[in-house]
Chain A
């Protein structure tokens, strides 16, 4: 019965007439305190060791290879022992909301001049090579090169609109004699920055806009920004032509994050010990029970004692239960 409630007891007969019985459970739970604090020490140690590693960022346009990363928080560069080539990059979007659904990069690791490893990575699924982890962190469109597709419609007359493709920085002539359009600048995510200058809030095509200049016989007539998502924005009323930005195609690049952290498994062991230790401290206890039976004249005197370092109420219930059971047994069985 004691075995059922606490643990297998160790019995020690003192003399032919008396018996000592001892049972304990959860002795090792007292280590909980040490385990917890050791866990904390390991976490801090692991963090310090981790500083021997590095964290950096690299962008690769599709087809590009590189072995240099920019270290996080600085603009210092570091060369790796190997190169990475981006073979392909894909971003897919949810239909209605245009929020990103998934982005994947097909990467090849090149060491020396051999291709050692190929993997398709996506967010939450990195590539690991020689202790370095490569994560799919972000993406963008290289916007200083690329082509725009523009629709130009003369406001006067009944002429139809014409479509023109032009590279950024290029000038092209319109059908009407003497008119030229220069594609001055393109930003994928138009916003006015702190110093009232036009900047791109991000590299993603959230608010594509192109800055156009209209010339007639080398005289500048008009210069304005045209927005893909807001074709009727106020600047469009002025001028002799109505411009609409239809499309932009540029090279996409993938943003990779690279990390090497030699201390990480120390940190994880520390976390595990911390959790285990807290569990032992707050949810377990060390219980001990002593029973002594000695023969006095022709009756046995049974003495019970017990202790627990935590959760005394619950142990008391077990103790009382054993007490009741002993009383019941002593009334029904003959002394022997």
Chain B
């Protein structure tokens, strides 16, 4: 019988496979391989979507229906979904087939950890009263889409730094593997702008929801504080780029620092610090 676990398991292995394909593509630059990767990614994302929808339906069958965003397993799987979706959109918009090479390792590890780690419970659990609200969807989804955009800018920043280091030397054995530097710079800027707006909306929806549920729109909870820190790092990036004309290595490194803050906000805060958002 098809259930969400099987579909999400298939998705996990497909993403691992795609990750390997990307590395292959990085070294052999075969046009047909590029197309094959894109098609496989789209199919994998469809299966991933189906897995999430079926899990949603399964939760209703158990009597306590809710969108799959409530525990660590669901957030890892949904976050990976958002990342692959945003990656596909950006690859399409910027006509690049290689953007995913630094992102699929992260996605694969996240999915594999969610499915295989004994520390992650994958049962469908009912929602505690505080989470029984439509705001759960608006808030978590906008935050995740923001994180996904930052993930794409992170991958592009790594690609940028690698490409920039090699200088203009390109030998025949290694024709330009990674996209053009100026294109990468543009992708980093635009991805960060999109992520900034989405994360801003995510933080605001979180504040509105907190006010509605607990009477306090901001309580300096570790997750709230760290999401604000992340948002401010990207605000610094945008100011540096627009008002001070920063480009290149400096902005790439700033994007990488920002993404480290994203990871800490997304996962680190739940384990290292306790608060409203703690999983433990």
Point out the residues of chain B lying under 8 angstroms from A328, CB to CB: none
Whether A282 lies near B193 (C-beta < 8 A) is: yes
Instruction: Tell me if B164 is interfacial: C-beta within 8 Å of chain A.
Output: no
Closest CB of chain B to A308's CB: distance in Å?
15
Cβ-defined contact, A275 with B197, below 8 A:
yes
| Interface check A203, CB cutoff 8 A | no
Chain B interface mostly helix, strand, loop or mixed? helix
Interface-forming stretch among A120-128, A167-175, A177-185, A188-196?
A120-128
User: Residue-by-residue, is A280-324 near B (CB-CB < 8 Å gives 1, otherwise 0)?
Assistant: 001100000000000000000000000000000000000000000
State whether B129 touches A97 (Cβ < 8 A): no
Cα of A100 to Cα of B213 in the assembled complex, Å = 16
What is the distance, in angstroms, from B69's C-beta to the closest C-beta of chain A?
16
Residues of A within 8 A of B204 (CB): 271, 274-275
Question: Which of A3-11, A78-86, A147-155, A256-264 forms part of the interface with chain B?
Answer: A256-264
- Within the complex, the shortest CB–CB distance from B270 to chain A, in Å, comes to 18
Q: Is A94 an interface residue (CB 8 A)?
A: yes
Mask: chain B, 120-155; 1 = CB below 8 Å from A; 0 = not? 000001101110110100000000000000000000
User: Are B197 and A279 neighbours in the complex by a CB distance under 8 Å?
Assistant: yes
Considering only CB atoms, which chain B residue lies closest to A103 in the complex?
B129
A-B contact count (CB 8 A): 68
A279 to B193 CA separation, bound complex (whole angstroms): 9
Does A133 make an interface contact (CB < 8 A)?
A: yes
Asked if B212 is at the interface (CB within 8 A of a chain A CB), the reply is: yes
- The answer to whether B200 touches A264 (Cβ under 8 A) is no
Give complex CA distance A258, B214 in Å: 9
Does B64 sit within 8 A of A, measured CB to CB?
A: yes
Indicate if the CB atoms of A55 and B213 lie closer than 8 Å: no
A133 to B211, alpha carbons, bound, how many Å?
10
Closest residue on chain B to residue A278 by CB atoms: B197
Residues of B within 8 A of A136 (CB): 129
* Residue numbers in B under 8 Å from A283 (CB-CB): 193, 197
Chain B contact residues, CB within 8 Å of chain A: 64, 125-126, 128-130, 132-133, 135, 193-194, 196-197, 200-201, 204, 207-208, 211-218, 238
24 A–B contacts, CB within 8 A, in A order: A94-B64, A99-B126, A100-B128, A101-B64, A101-B129, A123-B130, A123-B213, A124-B130, A124-B132, A124-B133, A126-B212, A135-B215, A137-B214, A257-B214, A259-B215, A264-B211, A267-B217, A275-B197, A275-B200, A278-B196, A282-B193, A282-B194, A282-B238, A283-B193
